Amino acid sequence: MNKIFAWTLWIGVTLAFFCISYYAPNLLSDQGNKFLANFVNENLLSFLGVIVTITLGSAANLHLELNKLQNITDSDFPDARNAIKLSAYWLIFILAISSALVIVKPMLGDDPKLTAICNSLAISFVLFSILVLIDLTSAIFGVPASGTLKKKRTTNSEK
């Protein structure tokens, strides 16, 4: 997935949900949306925990494959490694912020706008996590098979 498309999608959806939270809070508040009332709690953390676990496993697998490719091609793939590392840390950060959101949300009371904003943040975090999962999955499927690559040969002058 194109990163510009993913960022644009995430920012657009997040802004749309914040506008809905402000202008029509009943659509996303706990009073108007029972699914979100029951989801933005420990269920959100469980859901994000599964995504983070799957994605970190995929990132580790991708990292190991890059190690194999590095041995074959003598290239260390710094951009790919940095992108994997950044994705993993973003997911951990989103899980931590979601934990804080789940703790703070009940303290805000029953104000529809405030609960709608909390629920909008939760939806935004879920979407972000799914986009990272899609990005890492497409990266894994983009790694060439090690048998299709030829080992870089060194000549006597390079030694």
Enter the pTM of the model.
0.83
pLDDT of 153 above 50: no
Calpha distance 3→8 (Å, rounded): 8
| Average pLDDT over every residue of 111-120 | 95
Nearest CA to 45 among 92, 88, 90?
92
Among all chains, which residue has been given the structure tokens 């805000």? 108
108 Cβ neighbours under 8 A, 6+ residues apart: 114, 115, 118
- Give the list of residues 6+ apart from residue 73 with CB closer than 8 angstroms, or none: 149, 151, 152
What is the percentage of the chain residues whose pLDDT exceeds 70?
Answer: 90
Query: Interior CA angle at 68 toward 65 and 72, to 5°?
Result: 135
Neighbours of 152 (CB within 10 A): 10
Judged against a pLDDT cut of 60, whether residue 152 lies above it is answered with no
* Closest listed residue to residue 91, CA positions, set 134, 117, 61, 129: 129
Query: Which amino acid belongs to residue 93?
Result: F
From start to end of 18-159, where are the E strands?
none
Looking up tokens 């935004």 gives 124
Is the pLDDT confidence value at 102 over 60? yes
